Structure 1
Amino acid sequence: MPQTDPVIALSGAALTLDGNAGPVAILRDIDLEVARGETLGLIGPSGSGKSSLLMLMGGLERASAGRVSVLGQDLTGLSEDALARVRREHMGVVFQSFHLIPTMTALENVATPLELAGQPDAFARAAEELAQVGLAHRADHYPSQMSGGEQQRVALARAAAPRPEILLADEPTGNLDESTGAAIMDLLFGLRDRHGATLVMVTHAPDLAARCDRVVPLRDGRLATPAGTPA
């Protein structure tokens, strides 16, 4: 069962971006806490703000108003370099698009965040993570030599390699067929269990949302119902 201390906390958080016709309110007055060890699903129609909310949690977007706190640290006043350090030291992020570096092998892609963090055993740990997602035999292959499902496995290994306290996943199966997507989700939940991470996931799939401890729906940039308490 998740503990009650919040790993992520948003209070009155809002996000407004400049559009062609002027400012556009993307998120409004978000109050939400995510407990340590919890798995939270963000659901809602396209354009409801799910991915933007995930980006706020990861410090990839800066709140226009309110407060976003991760592991007790207020992200709203941090510099870009400080935000990058928080992500590097505490978070793993998995996107719908794999965002692998095309000129690097699978092993090098997974080892890169570990090298940036100064891990002396970066390549050994990267090899271990590739083995955990069933890709030890693909370590020396480049992204262009792998299927979409294999590339997403590499992305999962890269996110998990630093042993993050928080995993953020934005439609991680969106570019995959049903059977491959199901396998990727099994791996993602397995990584969460193995490392004891808190998982926040954006999804359109009801079966994936049903695997979460709690589901938070969004509509028009707001929480559609009170967020409630962790399961």
Structure 2
Amino acid sequence: MHDATLSLQGNAGLVQILHGITLDVHRGETCGLVGPSGSGKSSLLMLMGGLEQATSGQVIALNHDLTAMNEDQLARLRRDHFGVVFQSFHLIPTMTALENVATPLELAGHADAHARATQELDAVGLSARADHYPSQLSGGEQQRVALARAAAPRPGIILADEPTGNLDTTTGASIIELLFGLRDRHNSTLVLVTHDPELADRCDRVITLRDGRIEKTA
């Protein structure tokens, strides 16, 4: 991304969220985004995935110029090439774990959607819970379903926004192991937002943001 900015309209007028961000993340790299609350970490992650459109500048991902794409094009790109994991699990409550993982694949036209979903649930240790609904699963199990859903497209890029934020320490540690295992299994680029110093230390590179700007890279 080059000189990317993000401004959003708030109740008090236009709010500048990100200021002239220039950042290269290399294929296969694991990059941590850290900084105080309100520093722009999640907004930067959203720009990287085309979930927010840059106000100015350019965002390139997988040889696609996200700033030149419309919403439908961005949605197809994310569906086919991105895995996104949020702090809140965003599972569909009326669907089983298997259906939650399989549905995006079915929408993408994959004939082996259920077989692939079953494989990914097994990879996160949830094959025995495939027919359970989110309300029947613990927080850690729901996040594992979300990881399986993110892994199912065999993504080139995985974006994770505080993936352990709603979990206890032990459960969070197991989720992190699964997340890094997912990255290794699909040879994906991983960009994650975290407040956890131990998780940040596992990244190849750590980007510190403050007030919508990159403060340092380590």
TM range (shorter): over 0.9
| Alignment match of 1:57 (pick from 48, 65, 72) | 48
2:171 to 180, 193, 199: 180
Aligned counterpart in structure 1 of residue 66 of structure 2, from 75, 79, 85: 75
Corresponding position of 1:139: 130
> Counterpart of 2:161?
170
Say if 2:151 is the partner of 1:157: no
The separation in 2 between residues aligned to 1:73 and 1:141, in whole angstroms, is: 38
- Unpaired runs of 5+ in structure 2? none
Letter in 2 for 1:126: A
CA distance in 1 between counterparts of 2:28 and 2:108 reads 23
Which residue does 2:181 correspond to in 1?
Answer: 190
Amino acid at match of 1:68: V
Q: 1:42 aligns with which of 21, 33, 38?
A: 33
Give the counterpart of 1:208 among 199, 203, 211.
199
- Tell me, yes or no, if structure 1 residue 12 matches structure 2 residue 7: no
Matched residue pairs, number? 218
Deviation (angstroms), 1:73 = 1.1
- Whole-angstrom CA distance in 1 between matches of 2:18 and 2:197: 23
| SS of 1:153 mapped into structure 2 | helix
Instruction: Determine the structure 2 residue equivalent to 1:104.
Output: 95
Q: Hey, what does 1:94 align to over in structure 2?
A: 85
Deviations 1:132-167, CA, capped at 9 Å, x for gaps: 000000000000000000000000000001100000
Counterpart residue type for residue 180 of structure 1: T
- Which residue of structure 2 lines up, in the alignment, with residue 5 of structure 1? none
* Residue aligning to 2:111: 120
- What SS does structure 1 have at the residue aligned with 2:25? strand
Shift of 1:117: 1.1
Shift of 1:89: 1.2
Cα deviations by residue, 1:73-108 (Å, 9 ceiling, x for unpaired) = 111121100000110111000000000000000000
TM-score, structure 1 normalization: 0.93
TM-score where L is the length of structure 2? 0.99
In structure 2, what is the equivalent of residue 7 of structure 1? Answer: none
Task: State the Cα distance separating 1:216 from its structure 2 match.
Answer: 0.3
Structure 1: gaps (5+ residues):
1-9
One-letter amino acid of the counterpart of residue 44, structure 2: L
